[in-house]
Chain A
């Protein structure tokens, strides 16, 4: 099963197990541009799986309203780049409803799904990684899976989590990432990172599609330099699993964090700041951030822009050589 099928399976499971769950977004009734909702309208009816007009702010507000009646809303934003019209609704309404109502109302049943990230030719507005913007908002959870097995378990967790969640799907992996996805109903806990590959010399942290780039960089470090990397998938960007990263860095003394989003104020900065605070005396080298450049996501320069395995390999090497 590849990733779009796993996501489809997660939503089918959610719709089946919860009568109040509805799925909506631009073109989702026809399967959505990435086919994630294929067949769901036929299976669950047009009252539960439906197309919306192209109005992200309205879609988000609509979902918040529905979810605030204690029901489950799964909203799709067609590309993460289009989530910005909905930014106000998510940041000011969804995230703060519980707090400002003194816990009387909440929209915990809301999950917003959006495909993010580079795809080779997406250009400025079909390639961005906006996760960091939302991590600046207490009240939201931000989750990004790296493969189909993770995608199904984490998406089901998001849908069932009693807090509003934003689920960014690595669009580059929809078809390319294949795995033996369990057919049944399962969830993967939010807020827990996963050590994908244990190691002793350098801690390497990433999420989503970047995990595949990092795995390649770690292999390269092992085969060319004999460096043993501990590769960690953060999975939930907020609230993030500080303890797992801290434990790892205490062991390795070195940290490389990588994401596609621009470096300045990217989430790697938050991780670096926290780790330098908590592990200062354990660090053998400055923490390295390997990120996109501080430019708009480029069309023709994408290959140059993305933090590929070579840039990450360089950073790993640098921490060891320091």
Chain B
């Protein structure tokens, strides 16, 4: 793996590309794609300076955001369950770079990173983590349930695997809306972890998607451990991109944002052209434990984590490319990172200024009358008599 991390020498010879005045370079992708019943995409990617800086920025923001969330959880400011995404940043960013916002994304409870790349601000994510009123889900979702209607981000699902058949339904919606058989479709991506890969409903959804040729991507983020159980202990088939049986699949290095982007472009093209679904395995690693109650070193060694950080870190890879292509210097990147650290700290500070939603919100958004409220997606709540709100003005005990 370490040898594979060597950045292609070609990266050091950037050339002017056709796109405007931006400088672009071609990079070899160090870890091979693997195809299952399909020819994988080429082992090369072109990227501009702006693109790489954008990827670096978002991935670094996710990293710092998760580290800050870790601290806030331990300080008991964030309650509930909290699953951190650091280590896996390249996947969210790579998918976002390959997709448009007309494509649907639905993911697991480990959703902070995806929320950020789909357009939510660091501050709004912190507010959601804190349960505050201006959070991405208005404080009512929490860590596991971040959504963004405007970018078709269908959120994080807490039940392992439950998001996958929903993703199939999203894909069906694309197909149903298509006007001509030959039209290219937008796609839906149903993301799940290696821990969910053996949920029966993943297969139920894949079967339907294949049967009806739905533009659905079944994307397994393989971070090697389903909670505390390693893939070898949980899965008979550990090559998750082959789990679709006769459904084609590809293996992508989930630690390389350009590999994820190129791989996902390829998959999006295949699925969006009406060929049916595809399985994708994104090999990655989570630096933190499964959740905040898991220190993350009882089932793996500190050395293992350190080794991944040193040899496969997704952010370091982007920085290395920026430097070796001559797009940035290490000093410049240091300055950028300094500013981004401050941005995260400022966002956290600003988030903490806010407060929890009104008590009345306990019982809103359960049932609706269907009437629109203002310009947003929100619908007017209906309070049926069976929802008995405590009347704290009269009686504290009910």
| A contacts, CB < 8 Å to B | 20, 22, 47, 50, 52-53, 55, 57-58, 60-69, 71, 73, 88-89, 92-93, 98-106, 108, 138-139, 141, 161-163, 191, 238-240, 242-243
Asked if B169 and A63 make an inter-chain contact with CB atoms under 8 angstroms apart, the answer reads yes
- Partner of B365 from the list A68, A71, A89, A103 (CB cut-off 8 Å) is A103
Interface centre among A60, A64, A104, A238 (most CB of B within 10 A): A104
Contacts of A52 in B (CB 8 A): 208
Interface centre among A20, A65, A93, A104 (most CB of B within 10 A): A65
Shortest CB distance A240–B (Å): 6
What would be 29 A-B contacts, judged by CB atoms less than 8 Å apart? Answer: A50-B212, A58-B168, A58-B207, A61-B204, A62-B208, A63-B169, A64-B169, A65-B154, A65-B166, A65-B171, A65-B172, A67-B169, A68-B166, A69-B170, A89-B162, A93-B162, A98-B365, A98-B379, A100-B137, A101-B140, A102-B141, A103-B365, A103-B377, A104-B377, A105-B147, A108-B370, A138-B367, A139-B367, A238-B386
- Which residues of B287-304 have CB atoms within 8 Å of chain A's CB atoms? none
Asked if A62 and B168 make an inter-chain contact with CB atoms under 8 angstroms apart, the answer reads yes
| Complex Cα–Cα for A20 and B369 (A) | 20
The contact string, 1 if C-beta is below 8 Å from chain A, for chain B 350-383, is 0000000000000011111110000001110100
Instruction: Known A61-B168, A66-B169; judge A53-B208 contact (CB<8 A).
Output: yes
- Which residues of B165-214 have CB atoms within 8 Å of chain A's CB atoms? 165-173, 176, 188, 200-201, 204-205, 207-208, 211-212
Contacts of B164 in A (CB 8 A): 61
Asked if A88 and B162 make an inter-chain contact with CB atoms under 8 angstroms apart, the answer reads yes
Contacts of B204 in A (CB 8 A): 53, 55, 57-58, 61
| B contacts, CB < 8 Å to A | 104, 106, 135-142, 145, 147-149, 154-155, 157-159, 162, 164-173, 176, 188, 200-201, 204-205, 207-208, 211-212, 364-370, 377-379, 381, 384-387
Asked if B149 and A93 make an inter-chain contact with CB atoms under 8 angstroms apart, the answer reads no
A-B CB proximity, top 4 nearest: A65-B169, A61-B165, A58-B204, A102-B138
Asked if B135 and A61 make an inter-chain contact with CB atoms under 8 angstroms apart, the answer reads no
| Complex Cα–Cα for A66 and B366 (A) | 19
Instruction: Known A101-B141, A103-B138, A105-B147; judge A89-B367 contact (CB<8 A).
Output: no
Chain A residue nearest to B156 (CB atoms) is: A100
Contacts of B366 in A (CB 8 A): 98-99, 138-139
| Complex Cα–Cα for A103 and B349 (A) | 26
| Complex Cα–Cα for A40 and B166 (A) | 25
Instruction: Known A53-B211, A65-B173, A104-B377; judge A99-B140 contact (CB<8 A).
Output: yes
| Complex Cα–Cα for A253 and B207 (A) | 56
Contacts of A93 in B (CB 8 A): 157, 159, 162, 166
Asked if A242 and B386 make an inter-chain contact with CB atoms under 8 angstroms apart, the answer reads yes
Contacts of B364 in A (CB 8 A): 103
| Complex Cα–Cα for A265 and B165 (A) | 31
Shortest CB distance A166–B (Å): 14
Chain B residue nearest to A138 (CB atoms) is: B366
Asked if B201 and A58 make an inter-chain contact with CB atoms under 8 angstroms apart, the answer reads yes
Asked if B207 and A53 make an inter-chain contact with CB atoms under 8 angstroms apart, the answer reads yes
Shortest CB distance B362–A (Å): 10
Asked if B205 and A66 make an inter-chain contact with CB atoms under 8 angstroms apart, the answer reads no
Shortest CB distance A167–B (Å): 16
| Complex Cα–Cα for A69 and B169 (A) | 9
Asked if A62 and B368 make an inter-chain contact with CB atoms under 8 angstroms apart, the answer reads no
| Complex Cα–Cα for A52 and B379 (A) | 32
| Complex Cα–Cα for A161 and B167 (A) | 23
Shortest CB distance A250–B (Å): 16
Known contacts A22-B176, A61-B162, A93-B166; 4 additional CB pairs below 8 A are A61-B166, A65-B172, A88-B159, A102-B365
| Complex Cα–Cα for A132 and B387 (A) | 16
| Complex Cα–Cα for A108 and B366 (A) | 11
Asked if A138 and B387 make an inter-chain contact with CB atoms under 8 angstroms apart, the answer reads yes
| Complex Cα–Cα for A60 and B162 (A) | 10
| Complex Cα–Cα for A296 and B366 (A) | 33
